[in-house]
Chain A
């Protein structure tokens, strides 16, 4: 009899847990928090480096890129998660690719219509979101096996992890390479007229250096070691 009640209790507990899990429960918050630092797609998993180097010379295009990636990741994770029981296993990679490519083309078309300058500036790199390993990595590793809302959070978290890194890189590259912040000459504004800008920062090499420094600082703090 005693076992019976325990089982009952457990069932009730499970039921309650299911009912009471809020939209942003602790478990779900982890989906967003983890990729920001401990499991960052760029600095820890070292994915998506190509675009992190290419688009980060200025803040503005980087922000556009970040928003595009967030959009693509959230919605591709959502659609794949919704379809996860329907997608034939043997063609799942192609299905993922098709979904991502469609979303990216949508982003590209919208940019072309509403922000042509950005479209010109980012040009090929918006299209290259398709090949960004982070997007497909999350679909394969997470969305295929998890519920839609969890997947949305996971996509959002990872995209945010990607975004803050590229924005940080862009911040330093634009500041040191062009002496500007979002196109505003900050050094002139605070009275330093002849700030010596560093041409190295404008080239991809500058992105490598800053990315390396960010990874260094982060790993010193988290104690993460590559095995």
Chain B
């Protein structure tokens, strides 16, 4: 069956309009729900750095977040930033780490999530810092929870977009993330050394010490990216970390 060109053109135009309309309708209709899903996912990641959320429903997680997390945004000098250039208030949860990553470090905004006892913002139990970097194939990111000494790692959570399953993608596994617990990011002289993954797996324990964790076999490049990400971001947050650890009373006032 041969149709005229006009018929073909009209058919494709109508088809495009119908399908396009369908997609936009779905997109508009689902947008609020998607936004909520993304918000829940972010808050879940932040909380996972400090507590086990196993068995909690979405709403319970959001409630827990509201009750136990307080956030601030700081700049590279560790000063609190409350408004952007236009004077609009900045909300830490709305700061897009990936977008900020493209700017020069001096211009970036750095959110800090403070995990405190439910309802009592004064008694901070942990500081959670978002980190962002590149793995082997694409972006990796995560949240690092520091104890109140601002030196010991309480917990970490990592996520990735396209790392190799079974190799680099293992950074999302609890077992790998638990290796970071209790490590220190400063040495005894108070110099920032960060925490790094070693090459290879099953490294003997004495090798690890306070600043190294066992690596992931077959995922050296992901681990290198992870190490760089941690070192970079601890560097960016160093001013803030120093401020907090230098004067705990001042922190409570913040």
> A residues bordering B, Cβ < 8 Å?
57, 86-91, 94-95, 98-99, 102, 105-106, 109-110, 112-114, 116-117, 119-120, 123-124, 177, 199, 202-203
Contacts and interface: CB of A to CB of B under 8 A. Distances in A.
B162 A105 contact: no
A89 B3 contact: yes
B22 A203 contact: no
A30 to B, nearest CB: 28
B33 A113 contact: yes
13 contacts: A89-B3, A91-B11, A98-B15, A106-B23, A109-B26, A109-B30, A110-B30, A112-B34, A113-B30, A113-B37, A116-B40, A116-B41, A203-B166
Nearest to A205: B166
A109 B34 contact: yes
A110 B27 CA distance: 9
A114 B37 contact: yes
Contacts of B27: 109
Interface in B185-215: none
The dominant DSSP class at the A interface is: helix
Given A98-B19, A113-B34, A114-B37, A87 B166 contact: no
Given A95-B15, A109-B34, A114-B33, A88 B165 contact: no
Nearest to A120: B41
Contacts of B16: 98
B8 A202 contact: no
Nearest to A54: B165
B23 A199 contact: no
Contacts of B23: 102, 105-106, 109
The dominant DSSP class at the B interface is: helix
A133 to B, nearest CB: 21
Interface string B1-28: 1110001100110011001001100110
B40 to A, nearest CB: 7
A99 B26 contact: no
Contacts of B56: none
Residue in B1, B16, B161, B165 whose Cβ sees the most chain A Cβ within 10 Å = B165
A76 to B, nearest CB: 12
B165 A116 contact: no
B190 to A, nearest CB: 39
Interface residues of B, number: 28
B166 A57 contact: yes
B231 to A, nearest CB: 26
B254 interface: no
Nearest to A199: B166
Nearest to A87: B11
Contact of A88 (B11, B37, B159): B11
B38 interface: yes
Contact of A177 (B3, B11, B37, B166): B166
Contacts of B159: 120
Interface string B236-252: 00000000000000000
Given A106-B22, A106-B23, A117-B41, A202 B30 contact: no
Nearest to A116: B37
Contacts of B19: 98-99, 102
Contacts of B12: 91, 94-95
A202 B164 CA distance: 10
A106 to B, nearest CB: 5
Contacts of A95: 11-12, 15
Given A106-B22, A109-B27, A109-B34, A89 B2 contact: yes
B162 to A, nearest CB: 7
A96 B161 CA distance: 30
Contact of B3 (A88, A119, A202): A88
Contacts of B8: 88, 90-91
Contacts of B40: 116
B175 to A, nearest CB: 11
